[in-house]
Amino acid sequence: MTTRSEEPLLTVETPEMSESGADPGGVPGARQEPAAGSVRPPTEVAMTVRDLSAWYGQRRAVREISLDINARAITAIIGPSGSGKSTLLRCLDRMHEVVPGARSSGQVLYQGVDIYDPMIEPAAVRRTIGMVFQQPNPFPTMTIYDNVAAPARFNGVVKGKAAEDDLVQRCLTRAALWNEVKDKLRHGGTSLSGGQQQRLCIARALALEPKVLLMDEPCSALDPVATLQVEELMSHLKADYTIVIVTHNMQQASRVSDATAFLTMGEDRAGYLVEVGPTSEIFTSPKQQLTEDYISGRFG
């Protein structure tokens, strides 16, 4: 993230992605480097949401949500339709405020930095915290190659043909798509199957060298085989990225996620957090009856 004044204060490192993927780091000074030889703690918090509320005009859609999102882990957000899952997700990369009349209150911290601080550029937030949508949405007029390279080129992440070639290959490899498309990089992005298009969109997101990937029902438009491919990909990516996924698919949440947050609607129809915890606990011994009812299919 860079500040409006381009002060280095909040600049996020954007090192070249290594063979093993992006550097998982963040704001210099905001994270603790492990001592030499020690293992980075598995429960390092990447993002903290505090008292987050979100409105569309007068109508509150999300009420006072607080939760921690662990680094290099997959957090699933589940809950009935209309409980504010997508709204919450969009507040995590400042996409919510793009909707006319929409606003939010509370705090969202990334590596300890408030992403709503007036000094922070929303565009920089969205580069650091990338989004993958429900419907695969490759740029329709662009080739497979340009779908990955163009946003990175536009954002100044990469300069020159050789660097672009390298970036495209690395990101498509990372997204488990390279072998399927390496001989047709100049074909249109929309010529691919739905599952391939979604992996192309993941490659496109990776090309901006994000640290966090937000995924809003990324498999709901995919068949079971393509769904499993994306789930497998997520499991690999979590070694290097923090992933938050909204899903209606309980099996998917229990298969892929490390932590699960359950949202439901209150009497004012605003979504609130019922509970969050390790996925294994939420699915076997939830603390709240509402969660039990939802995951057992009695509600929602």
- Inter-axis angle of helices 194-207 and 224-237, to 10 degrees? 20
Using rule CB under 6 A, residue 82 touches ligand ATP: yes
Q: Which of 22, 46, 52, 61 binds ligand ATP (CB under 6 A)?
A: 61
Task: Identify which of residues 101 and 160 has a Cβ nearer to ligand ATP in the complex.
Answer: 101
Provide the 3-class DSSP secondary structure of residue 99.
coil
Taking the complex as a whole, the smallest distance from the CB of residue 162 to ligand ATP amounts, in Å, to 42
Using rule CB under 6 A, residue 81 touches ligand ATP: yes
CA atoms within 13 A on the CB side of 141: 0
Using rule CB under 6 A, residue 85 touches ligand ATP: yes
Interface region with ligand ATP, contact rule CB under 6 A, candidates 81-89, 159-167, 175-183, 195-203: 81-89
Taking the complex as a whole, the smallest distance from the CB of residue 93 to Mg ion amounts, in Å, to 15
Q: Which does 81 bind (CB under 5 to 8 A by kind): ligand ATP, Mg ion, none?
A: ligand ATP
Strand order in the sheet with 74-78: 113-114, 102-110, 45-56, 59-70, 271-278, 259-265, 74-78, 242-246, 212-216, 129-132
Q: What is the sign of the dihedral through the CA atoms of 49, 299, 215 and 232?
A: positive
Q: Which of 2, 53, 70, 83 binds ligand ATP (CB under 6 A)?
A: 83
Q: Which does 99 bind (CB under 5 to 8 A by kind): Mg ion, ligand ATP, none?
A: ligand ATP
Number of H helices, E strands in the chain: 10, 10
Q: 152 near 158, Cβ under 8 Å? A: yes
Per CB under 6 A, residues contacting ligand ATP are 56, 61, 79, 81-87, 99
